[in-house]
């Protein structure tokens, strides 16, 4: 009996040997809701499991670096906004600090505090956007509406102060454009209080949810080694358990005076460096930003908001590479000047570009639905990837 069985099996195996199967090619994007913009990823799958993923970029390439070679230093700020349109304040801050370092400018105290307030509000707005859209990727709709409600308050404040909701052109070389009135400052305090309450609600709603945890824990592990190899920064690196934040490690602006922690992933719900850790780091960062905002409200003092900047701005010949901590990671500005009114070369090191290059490394062996979770967890903004 058993002998017969064996032959039957061998026959079956032989028949299957003759059958040829192939990997299935699947295009995710460019018009895919889970790619947060226009990213195309060519996936080769074996049934549900991904064999390889290949990102194709460039659908949102707007030649920002070439354009800026024909613009004066002030005119570049609106272009810098349009890279990471979800946290434009942080981008402006990075660019302006790089130019100011070249000019050796002293920024008035009030302007510095206002800049940090704006950057932290921008970071919160961006992380709220992440919270909302990431859960949409995973199939939950309601958190998105709640997050947008809070984000709207921040955008409205920005609109009242700077005049625009997303692309502010507010932080200028040498200071800021408009002043915060005392009413605006009270509003910042109110936003902090409301958000503090909301965050614990989000935690009840989402973070403890078993279905959510099932989707994100142990998925797409980016460990410390991988992060260093690919140059990952920001929440991705911190999610891998590395305590590295430029605001603490290479401080700029008034960050050295402020007291805050760097949240790192702990691997509580699975492996260290999985999607949950990256989510967790961002949620905790919002709490730290609230802490920073409250300190800034105490630190702010009356004074001018613009330093004396020459009307025709010419940078001395030289170059600078300056890194700041934007919402998605380290934003590097490499500026080469030849002493003209226009930069000779402006290169932006965008964190998302690096993070997209990590996707092929983690994709292998994931299920397609888990890959969506992985793409969402690195929080890409395609405007910044393609520039």
Calpha distance 10→283 (Å, rounded)? 55
- Examine residue 196 and tell whether it contacts another protein (CB under 8 A): no
Calpha distance 345→338 (Å, rounded)? 9
Alpha helices in 69-141 (DSSP H): 77-81, 88-103, 109-138
The answer to whether residues 23 and 45 touch, using CB atoms and an 8 Å cutoff, is yes
Q: Which stretch binds another protein (CB under 8 A): 45-53, 87-95, 119-127, 254-262?
A: 45-53
For another protein, the binding residues in 275-334 under the rule CB under 8 A are: 316-321, 323, 330, 332, 334
Q: Which stretch binds another protein (CB under 8 A): 31-39, 97-105, 109-117, 127-135?
A: 97-105
For another protein, the binding residues in 101-140 under the rule CB under 8 A are: 101-102, 104
Q: Which of 105, 155, 164, 299 binds another protein (CB under 8 A)?
A: 164
Residue number with CB closer to another protein (34 or 50): 50
- Examine residue 9 and tell whether it contacts another protein (CB under 8 A): no
Q: Which of 231, 291, 299, 369 binds another protein (CB under 8 A)?
A: 231
Residue 298 CB, nearest approach to another protein (Å): 26
Residue number with CB closer to another protein (226 or 299): 226
The answer to whether residues 125 and 186 touch, using CB atoms and an 8 Å cutoff, is no
Residue number with CB closer to another protein (270 or 291): 270
Residue number with CB closer to another protein (255 or 295): 255
Calpha distance 51→367 (Å, rounded)? 10
Residue number with CB closer to another protein (17 or 259): 17
Calpha distance 329→97 (Å, rounded)? 16
- Examine residue 79 and tell whether it contacts another protein (CB under 8 A): yes
Q: Which stretch binds another protein (CB under 8 A): 125-133, 284-292, 301-309, 341-349?
A: 341-349
- Examine residue 27 and tell whether it contacts another protein (CB under 8 A): no
Q: Which stretch binds another protein (CB under 8 A): 83-91, 127-135, 259-267, 351-359?
A: 351-359
Helix (H) or strand (E) holding 348: strand 345-349
Q: Which of 196, 291, 294, 345 binds another protein (CB under 8 A)?
A: 345
* 171's tokens: 């932080």
The answer to whether residues 34 and 374 touch, using CB atoms and an 8 Å cutoff, is no
Q: Which of 8, 25, 27, 66 binds another protein (CB under 8 A)?
A: 66
Calpha distance 109→63 (Å, rounded)? 35
Q: Which of 28, 39, 53, 77 binds another protein (CB under 8 A)?
A: 77
Residue 58 CB, nearest approach to another protein (Å): 4
- Examine residue 57 and tell whether it contacts another protein (CB under 8 A): yes
SS3 for 166-235 is CCCCCEECCEECCCCCHHHHHHHHHHHHHHHHHHHHHHHHHHCCHHHHHHHCCCCCCCHHHHHHHCCCHH
The answer to whether residues 90 and 123 touch, using CB atoms and an 8 Å cutoff, is yes
* 347's tokens: 């290169």
Residue 249 CB, nearest approach to another protein (Å): 6
Residue 201 CB, nearest approach to another protein (Å): 6
Calpha distance 273→221 (Å, rounded)? 5
Q: Which of 32, 40, 67, 314 binds another protein (CB under 8 A)?
A: 67
- Examine residue 74 and tell whether it contacts another protein (CB under 8 A): yes
The answer to whether residues 252 and 235 touch, using CB atoms and an 8 Å cutoff, is no
- Examine residue 3 and tell whether it contacts another protein (CB under 8 A): no
Which neighbouring-strand residues pair with 176? Answer: 171
Q: Which of 8, 149, 194, 340 binds another protein (CB under 8 A)?
A: 149
* 32's tokens: 């895919």
- Examine residue 223 and tell whether it contacts another protein (CB under 8 A): no
Q: What three-state secondary structure class fits 3?
A: helix
């Amino acid at each position: 009996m058993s002998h017969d069985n064996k032959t039957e099996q061998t026959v079956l195996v032989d028949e299957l040997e003759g059958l040829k199967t192939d990997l299935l090619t699947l295009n995710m994007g460019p018009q895919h809701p889970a790619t947060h913009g226009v990213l195309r990823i060519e996936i080769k799958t074996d049934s549900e499991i991904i064999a390889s993923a290949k990102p194709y970029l460039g659908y949102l390439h707007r030649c920002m670096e070439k354009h800026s070679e024909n613009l004066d230093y002030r005119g570049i700020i609106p272009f810098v906004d349009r890279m990471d349109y979800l946290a434009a304040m942080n981008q402006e801050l990075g660019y302006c600090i790089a130019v100011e370092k070249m000019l050796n400018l002293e920024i008035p105290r009030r302007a510095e505090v206002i800049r940090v307030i704006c950057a932290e509000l921008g970071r919160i707005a961006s992380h709220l956007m992440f919270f909302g859209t990431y859960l949409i990727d995973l199939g939950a709709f309601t958190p998105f509406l709640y997050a947008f409600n809070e984000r709207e308050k921040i955008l409205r404040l920005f609109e009242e102060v700077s005049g625009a909701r997303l692309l502010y052109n507010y932080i200028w070389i040498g200071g800021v454009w408009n002043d915060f009135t005392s009413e605006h400052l009270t509003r910042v305090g109110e936003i902090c209080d409301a958000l503090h309450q909301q965050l614990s609600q989000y935690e009840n709603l989402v973070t403890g949810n078993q279905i959510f945890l099932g989707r994100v824990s142990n998925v797409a592990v980016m460990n410390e080694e991988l992060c260093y190899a690919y140059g990952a920064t920001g929440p991705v690196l911190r999610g891998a358990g590395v305590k590295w934040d430029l605001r603490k490690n290479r401080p700029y602006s008034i960050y050295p005076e402020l007291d805050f922690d760097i949240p790192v992933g702990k691997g509580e719900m699975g492996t260290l460096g999985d999607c949950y850790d990256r989510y967790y780091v961002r949620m905790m960062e919002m709490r730290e930003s609230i802490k920073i905002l409250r300190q800034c409200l105490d630190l702010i003092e009356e004074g001018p908001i613009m330093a004396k900047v020459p009307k025709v701005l010419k940078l001395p010949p030289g170059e600078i590479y300056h890194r700041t901590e934007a919402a998605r990671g380290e934003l590097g500005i490499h500026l080469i000047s030849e002493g003209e009114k226009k930069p000779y070369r402006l290169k932006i090191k965008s964190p998302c570009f690096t993070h997209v290059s990590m996707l092929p490394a983690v994709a292998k062996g994931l299920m397609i639905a888990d890959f969506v979770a992985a793409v969402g967890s690195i929080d890409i903004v395609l405007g910044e990837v393609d520039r």
